[in-house]
Copies of this chain bind each other. A is one copy, B any other.
Amino acid sequence: MPCGTQATVKAMYPGQVRETGADILLGNTYHLMLRPGAERVAALGGLHTFMNWPHPILTDSGGFQVMSLSKLRRVSEQGVTFRSHIDGSEHLLSPEQSIEVQTALGSDIQMVFDECTPFPVSEEDAKTSMELSLRWAERSKTAFGDQPGRALFGIVQGSVYAGLRESSAAALQEIGFHGYAVGGLAVGEGQNAMFEMLDVTCPALEPGKPRYLMGVGKPDDIVGAVARGIDMFDCVLPTRSGRHGQAFTRYGTINLRNARFADDPAPIDAESPCPASRDYSKAYLHHLFKAGEHLGAMLLTWHNLSFYQQLMAGIREAVASGAFADFKARFEEAQRVSAAANGSG
């Protein structure tokens, strides 16, 4: 799911995002409640109409951004009181308020409001935080009520502690949700620890419901997480990296700002179905980034989103045909070869 943080996938027209193969966009409750405001979006016909995206939208609960972006936070049993990073105005985010905002936006898949446990954290503090998130999950479900055609996902917490992850998963399923996310990972614990938590968490989740790993990740994170049973991902990496000159390729990542591309007449990927990957030389992309031109961000974001969607399409096809183990082995071999060729580990 490409990130449409502020009601736009940065530097992309919505039609283009769709053409890369994206089915669902992610919108950010924290950003949208502050600007332009959920009531305003609702009055304008909802987020789908507002941003011209007539396809599914998943919204996060605001729990992550309120901790990472806002100022002067106070966490209580009730929720989180904070000041806007835009104008300093005071706001409350609680389970009820988060669901009210997500519902006003018209979100198809809503997330329970949870506390974003910091990392690193002691097992005791992680347990306290996870239990608060469980109580908030229950309140979120009550607030969500019955919204035909829309879903509410619970979020497994517990930091890097296997026992807490298992307790969280069990308690959430006791409450009952349409799908389950794994939160609080990709926050600095490293890929091994993340995979260990997935090894514990995924088997603890009922098999028939979607599993969503929040905020992940690099291509190898995704392939490894799919191997462990994850279905859905969101990440700012393809869009944010694109704006900073970094391109994902089948042969590793490259940064188009690098002087070695100044005279390179080859496109990023001559075989790609994406015009951004195929129809512009690396020399031209290098020039656009050096000159600070919008088109650089536009082309590389397009390329990266297309690359990610092709990766996901390949994964889906491999899973459907029972060939995912082969797919994963080929993917990892290509990663090893390109890492060796680029002289990095």
Contacts and interface: CB of A to CB of B under 8 A. Distances in A.
Interface of A: 6-8, 10-13, 15, 35-36, 40, 43-45, 50-52, 262-263, 265, 275, 279-281, 283-284, 286-288, 290-291, 293-295, 297-299
Contact of A40 (B44, B52, B263): B263
A11, A45, A284: most-surrounded residue (chain B CB, <10 A): A284
Contact of A263 (B44, B262, B299): B44
A287 B12 contact: no
A50 B281 contact: yes
A10 to B, nearest CB: 6
A277 to B, nearest CB: 13
B45 A265 contact: yes
A22 to B, nearest CB: 16
Given A52-B279, A294-B297, A8 B262 contact: no
A35 B291 contact: yes
Nearest to A296: B8
Contacts of A288: 8
A212 to B, nearest CB: 26
A40 B262 contact: yes
B283 A51 contact: no
Contacts of A262: 36, 40
Contacts of A294: 8, 10-11, 294, 297-298
A280, A287, A299: most-surrounded residue (chain B CB, <10 A): A287
Contacts of A13: 275, 295, 298-299
Given A8-B288, A294-B294, 11 more contacts: A6-B293, A7-B284, A8-B291, A8-B293, A10-B293, A15-B275, A35-B287, A35-B290, A44-B284, A50-B281, A52-B279
